């Protein structure tokens, strides 16, 4: 099959590359020339484990092409994916200007039947707008070329995106014609060999599924953070509570980890967007409003513990931060809890030295000049620091030498934002330990 994928961001690049990997002929399109030239040379615009090798391999085999020319990419193609960004507008809604600009260009240049698939996370009703935009552009040309629209939300997790695409739990596809459905069934057949289904449905339901999935996951996290905060007051241990409730199959054990709040490019944006959709349709999503509020508060709670420990004055104190990205295995800093904690420390006159295995370059875009220092490895960050703050649970931070940590820190104090350390062991070694949802 010949496929065009527009947008070489996270979703587009992973989608295009994985489709090429199973043997399809894929052209990835982007308006950014530099990105396209870089990709041809094997330079990835994002960090994702396994992606670089797969891109290079398929590019060499000429199954994966890169271009800035959208018209050329859809000439003879059967399916075009729109996977461009939908940045949050000021009011929290997804900005569709890029999606609709692509739809317009498709309409202006297409020569043959196409299934136009929205892959970006877009509000309910977007496929309809895409359809109208393509149809208007065709009408302006005075031609009548048949096409269909479809909605195919992605469920990729950063850091595990390739695996999620190659072995999906499920694929959700919204269509309104048999022709489009058959085409997408054929396209996804190689990915359903593990027995996991393509779930076909109507377009609005597919669009809603994506938001409902992310909103549910965000809700689990905020719920657990709320319970964790209560555990601290009640003298309970949220880790035990998590195990206790997670063994009920109706609840399940995944996604119940309390911490310093969720971040990333999806949960914060999607929760906001769904609340907004609710408002537009005259409905208030009360649970999600609380989910968001709890998350904002959670990002600040560790900072408050730090302030309490240092009796309200951290001016001139030095803090070592382990982990900057919003989660491990990515360099993504979008909505990362580290940003909130570091900003608050800096505002109080503290110094910050950070180490992250891959996100330091991304962080430099946020912290200009020498607002914070960067360490060359995790131990290098600790020298003369007043405390260690574990923000992102990268595997390299999981089993460090606490003897060395104790020697390097001015005071043996650890703020563990992800509950990855054994507080009893640390306290026995003489550390002052703060976790989340434990006392
Ligand atoms: C998420 C969804 O999982 C994915 O299906 C969707 O397509 C995009 O959004 P992603 O943002 O890559 O993926 O990250 P994910 O691994 O889901 O983590 C999101 C956030 O939740 C992170 O900040 C993580 O630290 C936090 N989290 C996750 C918790 O705080 N506790 C948990 O138990 C799980």
Say which residue the tokens 């880790």 belong to.
Answer: 239
**How many angstroms separate the alpha carbon of residue 86 from the centre of ligand 1?**
18
Residues 195 and 339 in one domain: no
Mean pLDDT of 367-393: 95
Question: Does the residue 221 lie in any domain?
Answer: no
Residue 263 and residue 299: Cα distance in Å, rounded? Answer: 9
Atom of ligand 1 nearest to the CA of 157: 12
Question: Does the residue 238 lie in any domain?
Answer: no
- Please identify every residue annotated as catalytic: 266
pTM over 0.90: yes
Indicate the pLDDT class of residue 91, thresholds 50, 70 and 90. Answer: confident
Give, for ligand 1, the residue of 15, 159, 264 to mutate: max count of ligand atoms closer than 8 Å to Cβ: 264
| 101 pLDDT higher than 80 | yes
Question: Does the residue 232 lie in any domain?
Answer: no
**pLDDT value at residue 59:** 98
**pLDDT value at residue 194:** 80
Residues 271 and 192 in one domain: no
* Domain total in the chain: 2
Give, for ligand 1, the residue of 243, 263, 291, 327 to mutate: max count of ligand atoms closer than 8 Å to Cβ: 327
Complex ipTM, two decimals? 0.91
**How many angstroms separate the alpha carbon of residue 269 from the centre of ligand 1?**
12
- Report the percentage of the chain scoring pLDDT > 70: 100
Residues 288 and 146 in one domain: no
**pLDDT value at residue 193:** 86
Question: Does the residue 231 lie in any domain?
Answer: no
Write out the residue range of the structural domain in which residue 104 sits.
2-201
**pLDDT value at residue 302:** 96
Indicate the pLDDT class of residue 363, thresholds 50, 70 and 90. Answer: very high
Residues 407 and 293 in one domain: yes
| 368 pLDDT higher than 90 | no
Ligand 1: does its nearest atom lie under 6 Å from the Cβ of 214?
A: yes
Instruction: Determine whether the annotation assigns residue 155 to a binding site.
Output: yes
Q: Is 27 helix (H, G, I), strand (E, B) or coil?
A: strand
Rounded to the nearest integer, the mean pLDDT of the chain is 96
Residue that terminates a domain, selected from 201, 235, 252: 201
Q: Count other C-beta atoms under 10 Å from residue 347's C-beta.
A: 9
Indicate the pLDDT class of residue 212, thresholds 50, 70 and 90. Answer: very high
Residue 205 and residue 208: Cα distance in Å, rounded? Answer: 5
Ligand 1: does its nearest atom lie under 6 Å from the Cβ of 122?
A: no
Residues 45 and 146 in one domain: yes
**pLDDT value at residue 195:** 86
**pLDDT value at residue 393:** 97
**pLDDT value at residue 196:** 85
| 254 pLDDT higher than 80 | yes
Task: List the structure tokens of 407.
Answer: 């020697």
| 93 pLDDT higher than 80 | no
CATH of the domain at 388: 3.40.50.720
Task: List the structure tokens of 131.
Answer: 């359809």
| 155 pLDDT higher than 80 | yes
Residues 178 and 307 in one domain: no
Which residues lie closer than 8 Å to 289 by C-beta, 6 or more apart? Answer: 275
Q: Is-contact 13 55, C-beta < 8 A?
A: yes
Residues 271 and 196 in one domain: no
Indicate the pLDDT class of residue 3, thresholds 50, 70 and 90. Answer: very high
Nearest-CA residue for atom 9 of ligand 1: 266
| 88 pLDDT higher than 80 | no
């Amino acid at each position: 099959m010949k496929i065009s994928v527009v947008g070489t961001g996270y979703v587009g690049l992973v989608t295009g590359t994985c489709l090429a990997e199973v043997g399809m002929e894929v052209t990835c399109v982007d308006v950014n020339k530099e990105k396209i030239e870089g990709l041809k040379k094997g330079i990835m615009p994002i960090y994702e484990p396994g992606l670089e090798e797969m891109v290079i391999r398929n590019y060499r085999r000429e199954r994966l092409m890169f271009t800035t020319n959208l018209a050329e990419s859809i000439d003879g193609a059967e399916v075009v994916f729109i996977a461009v960004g939908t940045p949050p507008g000021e009011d929290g809604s997804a900005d569709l200007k890029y999606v609709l600009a692509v739809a317009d260009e498709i309409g202006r240049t297409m020569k043959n039947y196409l299934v136009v698939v929205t892959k970006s996370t877009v509000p309910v009703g977007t496929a309809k707008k895409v359809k109208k935009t393509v149809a208007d552009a065709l009408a302006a040309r005075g031609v009548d070329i048949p096409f269909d629209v479809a909605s195919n939300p992605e469920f990729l997790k950063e850091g595990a995106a390739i695996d999620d695409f190659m072995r999906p739990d499920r694929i959700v596809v919204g269509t309104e014609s048999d022709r489009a459905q058959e085409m997408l069934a054929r396209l996804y057949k190689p990915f359903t060999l593990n027995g996991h289904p393509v779930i076909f449905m109507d377009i609005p339901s597919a669009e809603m599924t994506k938001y409902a999935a992310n909103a549910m996951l965000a809700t689990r996290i905020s719920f657990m953070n709320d319970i964790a905060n209560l555990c601290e007051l009640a003298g309970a241990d949220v880790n035990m509570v998590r195990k206790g409730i997670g063994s009920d199959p109706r609840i399940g054990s995944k996604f119940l980890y309390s911490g310093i709040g969720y971040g990333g490019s999806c949960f914060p944006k999607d929760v906001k967007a769904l609340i907004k959709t609710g408002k537009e349709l005259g409905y208030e999503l009360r649970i999600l409003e609380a989910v968001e509020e709890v998350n904002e508060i959670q990002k600040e709670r560790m900072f408050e513990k730090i302030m309490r420990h240092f009796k309200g004055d951290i001016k001139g104190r030095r803090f070592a931060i382990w982990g900057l990205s919003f989660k491990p295995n990515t360099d993504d800093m979008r909505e990362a809890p580290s940003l909130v904690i570091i900003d608050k420390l800096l505002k109080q006159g503290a110094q910050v030295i950070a180490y992250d295995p891959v996100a330091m370059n991304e962080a430099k875009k946020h912290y200009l000049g020498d607002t914070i220092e960067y360490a060359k490895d995790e131990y290098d960050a600790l020298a003369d620091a007043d405390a260690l703050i574990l923000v992102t649970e990268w595997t390299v931070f999981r089993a460090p030498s606490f003897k060395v940590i104790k020697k390097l820190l001015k005071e043996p104090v650890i703020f563990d934002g992800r509950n990855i350390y054994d507080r009893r062991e640390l306290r026995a070694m003489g550390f002052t330990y703060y976790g989340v949802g434990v006392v």
